[in-house]
Amino acid sequence: MIATASTVLKGGRVVTPDGITEATDVVLRAGRVEAVVPAGSASGDAVLDVTGMLVAPGMIDLQLNGGWGHDFTTDAASIAAVASHLPATGVTAFAPTIVTAPAGRRRAALDVMRTLPSTTTGTRAPAAVLGLHFEGPLLNPDRAGAHERTHIGLPQRSELDSWSRADGVAIVTIAPEMDGALALIGELTARGVVVAAGHTACSADDFAIARRAGMTMVTHLFNAMAPFEHRNPGPVGAALADAGVAASIICDGIHVDPVAVRMAWRALGASRTILVTDATAALGVDASTQRLAGVEITVSGDRLQTPDGRLAGSNLTLDRAVRNLIEFTGCSISDAIGTVTSNPASLLGLADRGTITAGAHADIVVLDEALMVHATIVGGVTSWER
């Protein structure tokens, strides 16, 4: 299907935050949703019959390190190549993640952001880039995980002055207990950047102070952070107990045990959970080794780890994470879809993404009964079809 004056997705059941509709027609025009109307009542220049299928908002991945043999931290120019592959997994927008590395790697990523096209073009549209996610370098070295400790620390003022939403930075993950963290949280928040706690051993008090400074998210809950203890709840307990903070989870059954996913779901609820992949260059390729920044990682099935046994990202796809969440928790399809659509969009303040309503971006994924991706539409253009 090629972009035309108008396109109708005919007869699908639309996934909304409140549930799944009866058969519906969705009209797309000029890269936006024009109307959502009862089945059979719409006409258009092109028709895609999706009768019996689910029509969901396009998925949004807020933590993706690379894929298909590409690593963003070492080669930021590969962001565009990975963006072209992502629609096959239902992803229509994402935040390329740059892990802890020398400052030049982050500068290179910001340079790439200035050259990326701002609108969808062509007949096979790539996933949209929403802004970079800088995971570090201001992390706790004792909770570094697979990050290189030699590059951990507070960046120079000359670098920090360029970290803003307008310049292409969407999310920054920080350990709130580190020197300089609180001032940086306030600074970044004022510039429209979402600040997340991660790779941290912060106390519940540290967490509360960071929240008051503007922190609104936790990066990959449970992983690379101090564990929960009933007399020292730390970042896990603080996040689960805070009714206003969102938490991302790597829902592959490896990073977080399914029982822990179920526990977090019961505490966070459908509105505060955001699924991410934390996928690396290993996504989409069959290889026994890959690299995450300068670190070699071994790939054994779905487990990626450093030579000393630390987990190092994943080869998870976001559509599979959704299916896993339903399996692990028994949650509804609409709630699971919300964790990769409306929730990440809301966190970034993007009212016209993560929803199928008039005026929203025409970013849509069509799913079959098993929640496998049947087709993905980016900006009104069919980017991938099974």
Catalytic residue ranges: 278
**Integer Cα distance of 62 and 65 in angstroms:** 10
Mapped onto helix, strand or coil, the DSSP state of residue 162 is: coil
Distance between first and last Cα of the chain:
12
Closest CA to 54 of 273, 324, 334, 271: 334
Amino acid identity for residue 187 in this structure = E
Cα–Cα distance list, 359 to 34, 142, 240, 362, 366 (Å) = 6, 46, 34, 8, 19
CB 303 within 8 A of CB 295: no
Name residue 361's beta-bridge partners.
Answer: 32
**Integer Cα distance of 72 and 280 in angstroms:** 9
Strands 246-250 and 273-276: parallel
**Integer Cα distance of 380 and 32 in angstroms:** 7
**Integer Cα distance of 271 and 100 in angstroms:** 29
Q: Tell me which DSSP letter residue 268 carries.
A: H
Mapped onto helix, strand or coil, the DSSP state of residue 281 is: coil
Helical residues (DSSP H) of the chain, grouped into ranges: 79-85, 103-113, 157-160, 181-190, 204-213, 234-241, 258-268, 318-329, 333-338, 342-347
Mapped onto helix, strand or coil, the DSSP state of residue 271 is: coil
Question: What is the phi-psi region of residue 337: left when phi exceeds 0, alpha when psi lies from -120 to 50, beta otherwise?
Answer: alpha
Q: Supply 92's token pair.
A: 């229509």
